[in-house]
Amino acid sequence: MKAAVVFQKGEMPKYVEDFVVPALQNENELLISVKASAVKNLDKMQAAGKHYSTENKEWKPKIVGGDGVGLLADDTRVYAIGVSGMVAEKAIVRKDRMVKLPEGIDDATAAALPNAVMGSALALRFRAQLQKGETVLINGATGVTGKIAVQIAKHYGAKKVIATGRNQEALEELLMLGADEIILLHPNEEFVSRIKHIHHQTPVDVVMDYLWGQSAECILTALKGDGGFSQRTRYVTIGGMSSDTITLSSSILRGTDIQISGSGLGSWTPAELGLLITEILPEMFQLAADGRLKLATMAVNLEDIESVWQHKPDGGKRLVILI
């Protein structure tokens, strides 16, 4: 079968036409005909063996892509999380890790949406435990997942959504997606002062951070209490696009009512992943089908995988491989 395969750790995926079709291992698995699979930062890091989920695993030639859209034997169209790689004509999926797709959503959007939902809805619901009427600050909101986070935060009842980002034009677009206030991201004293002012006027209940690094240090400094009672803020780190580490003063934690947690592979419980499949994704797919959740994609064919693998689409679009 045709597939995108990484043969050696650290190499680019290769387009091959005769890779072996994966074999079912147990009765909870199905073989589906894949139609689309999104290329995400997670896929690139796992393919390179650099993600924490692959660091200690024995390396074997493998198909890239962790999830995608495909057809069952009876032509039912589903989104599914792969047991085998999904950037291929055929893939193995688990029966309990797939969602039937509604009419009105195209394959590219359906393939691209779940990763952004995992990186936003799971953090908002299970780590931040967002309540209606609360204020949310999204740090690094101009990327694909950040844009979805803005929309889902509003859908879940946030009264105010504040978005930061480095691209002014992309920030302006967020105002049309539901953001109430935007801040151009320059990690400096002016940025800290701006966050402090906002926090004083409208206390920040939740921070969703996709960047970490210096901008996270600035936000935590801005939220720091002064020794009196302070606003409780739930700070959730979801990505480290700027840096994987920060310098954190003990006084911030001692003097501030703040809870810091993370949301990602390994932090979600089986019950939370179950709700992702049974409740969250079906709702989000329907919102997208109804035009109430917007995500931009750039779709290319499987045979072009080698030329587009390192490409980063403009405008916060998600790259999707069509099979």
Level-2 CATH architecture, domain 3-114+269-322: Alpha-Beta Complex (3.90)
Q: Report the candidate in 109, 107, 176, 162 with the shortest Cα–Cα distance to residue 317.
A: 109
Q: Does residue 257 surpass a pLDDT of 70?
A: yes
Convert the pLDDT of each residue in 108-164 to its tens digit: 999 999 999 999 999 999 999 999 999 999 999 999 999 999 999 999 999 999 999
Torsion of CA 264, 289, 75, 277, to 10 degrees: 30
Task: Give the predicted TM-score (pTM) of the model.
Answer: 0.92
* Residue 52 confidence (pLDDT) above 90: no
pLDDT of residue 41: 81
Within 10 Å of residue 57's Cβ, how many Cβ atoms?
11
**Strand 29-39 vs strand 77-82: parallel, antiparallel, or unpaired?**
unpaired
What is the C-alpha to C-alpha distance for residues 104 and 285, in angstroms, rounded to an integer?
9
Enter the CATH code of domain 120-262: 3.90.180.10
Note the pLDDT of residue 55: 63
The predicted structure's pLDDT at residue 60: 82
Q: Where do the structural domains in the chain lie, given as residue ranges? A: 3-114+269-322, 120-262
Phi and psi, residue 115, nearest 5°: -60, -40
Per CATH, 3-114+269-322 and 120-262 having the same topology is answered yes
Amino acid 51: pLDDT? 66
